[in-house]
Amino acid sequence: MSIDPAITPDSGGTPRTAGPTAAEAPASASPASPAPVTHRSGAAVRPQRAIVPAGSDEHPLRRGPRNGGGSGRLRALRRRPERAEQAGAAGPRPAGRARGPHAGAWWLWALGLSTAASRTTNPALLALLAAVAGYVVAVCRVPDTPWSRSYAAFLRLGLVVVAIRLAFAVVLGSPIPGTHTVLTLPEVPLPDWAQGVRLGGRVTAEGLWFAFREGMRLATLLACLGAANALANPARLLKSLPGVLYEAGVAVVVAMTFAPHLVADVRRLRTARRLRGRTEKGVRALLQVGLPVLEGALERSVALAAAMDARGYGRTAAVPPAVRRATAALTLGGLLGLCAGTYALLAATGAAYGLPLLLAGLAAAVAGLRLGGRRSVRTRYRPDRWDATAWLITASGVAVAALTIWAAAASPAGLDPPVVPLTAPSLPLWPAAAVLLGLLPAHLKGARP
């Protein structure tokens, strides 16, 4: 049986005529009312829908112009010509401002504040440092991100540290002699080999004040590091690491993101329990929240391992053995020099040899990182640039650290006031002005979201 070329079978096997195309249809014909088509034998066939080009305005399923028409945003701009003029006048938004400053700049700024906190035991200056870090976090953090909500957890951890330090001073005593007795606890006798340690006894106000100052210094350090966690994007920080430190950087960044995700999971589970009418306090509630948090952490670790394996994590290029040994020696020596120089600068004495050791370690580390970058076979998509905003943020933290170190050497009584005799803390003028330089990132347009 022969079939006319003008007749095509449909999906059910019944011969059906092909409708007229747009080129064959007359100009006056309406696509909504196609002409009836008859079978070869004379039987009537139900009318077919006319074939309309997809880009024309008469398409029955048309939701927007195609192939040059554009998306819904362009349709909105056609309806509102003034918005199109504004978009053309504004021009494209700079990528650096939309993404914020470099993540490493926030960590250098926070380390500068931490260095200043380690050089003083004055509670007024420590409270000012914590207030500066908190204000910058409140102004410059990106909302609705897991890491931006971790600063409150670090503050609570600092309060716990202060409470534990005071409890140890009450139970185990304090090496600071005092004349103002607060209370007297029953003392437990200890053997001779436990000289210098006591349980109970007399608790003095001088000992409690000394313990409070030490605990507050550690709490301020935690607040500064919490500010860096709340401001810096861990993924961008990982992308900015040199190629030779990529593997180690993945482990460090995963460890840094554990705290924000943990805080988000605990908050989500507590909200779910509250909506179900269950209590949020007590050991039982803590255990019931801890198990889902642990399960979520394990699921994230498995998903992260699968993603890393799929992206070829750990692959390196072939380099000569001599280059590998030189890279390892320079990198390891440079990092050791950086650690030793930083420790010397943070200690009470050692600034004389700490700075040269820090600079030498930095030079060796940079040489090792540049040499070891030949092993990296990965590329960076839209690498972060160290712009003027990042330089200003870093300079703010470095200035706070440098001026505080200078003030500690010039007038140590203002930054480390004596415990005995017991006196109220005072706020020294020039160290306080140096600490206020840490507020510079809050007034930079490129640092705010």
pLDDT for residue 421 is more than 70: yes
Q: How confident is the model at residue 350 (pLDDT cuts 50, 70, 90)?
A: low
Give the residue, 378 or 339, on which the prediction is more confident: 339
Bond prior to 234 in cis (omega within 30° of 0): no
What is the spatial distance between Cα 327 and Cα 332, in angstroms, rounded to a whole number? 8
Model pLDDT, residue 375 = 65
**Which one-letter DSSP state was computed for residue 300?**
H
Model pLDDT, residue 334 = 87
Question: What's at 215, amino acid-wise?
Answer: G
Sign of the C-alpha dihedral computed for residues 189, 195, 199 and 200 taken in this order: positive
**pLDDT (average), residues 171-181:** 80
Local structure of 20: helix, strand or coil: coil
Model pLDDT, residue 191 = 77
CB distance 437 to 403 below 8 Å: yes
Alpha-carbon dihedral angle through residues 213, 218, 224, 227, given to the nearest 10 degrees: -110
pLDDT for residue 259 is more than 70: no
CB distance 350 to 291 below 8 Å: no
Q: Which of 176, 221, 220, 223 is nearest to 202 (CA)?
A: 176
Model pLDDT, residue 161 = 93
Model pLDDT, residue 125 = 93
Cβ-Cβ contacts under 8 Å for 333 (sequence gap 6 or more) = 361, 364, 368
Tens of pLDDT along 202-230? 888 888 999 999 999 999 999 999 999 89
What is the spatial distance between Cα 335 and Cα 324, in angstroms, rounded to a whole number? 16
Q: Which of 230, 212, 117 is nearest to 174 (CA)?
A: 212
- Determine what percent of the chain is predicted with pLDDT higher than 90: 20
Give the residue, 435 or 344, on which the prediction is more confident: 435
Model pLDDT, residue 380 = 65
What is the spatial distance between Cα 133 and Cα 220, in angstroms, rounded to a whole number? 9
Tens of pLDDT along 378-405? 666 677 788 899 999 999 999 999 999 8
pTM over 0.85: no
Q: Which of 211, 114, 116, 115 is nearest to 154 (CA)?
A: 114
Tokens 């809050």, located at residue: 442
Q: Would you say how long the chain is, in residues? A: 449
What is the spatial distance between Cα 445 and Cα 281, in angstroms, rounded to a whole number? 42
What is the spatial distance between Cα 151 and Cα 241, in angstroms, rounded to a whole number? 24
Question: What's at 285, amino acid-wise?
Answer: A
Model pLDDT, residue 129 = 94
Q: How confident is the model at residue 157 (pLDDT cuts 50, 70, 90)?
A: very high
CB distance 239 to 383 below 8 Å: yes
Model pLDDT, residue 417 = 87
Tens of pLDDT along 99-143? 678 888 999 999 999 989 988 999 999 999 999 999 999 999 888
Tens of pLDDT along 286-320? 777 878 887 887 787 778 778 777 776 666 667 77
What is the spatial distance between Cα 144 and Cα 214, in angstroms, rounded to a whole number? 34
What is the spatial distance between Cα 319 and Cα 143, in angstroms, rounded to a whole number? 44
Question: What's at 98, amino acid-wise?
Answer: A
**pLDDT averaged over the chain?**
74
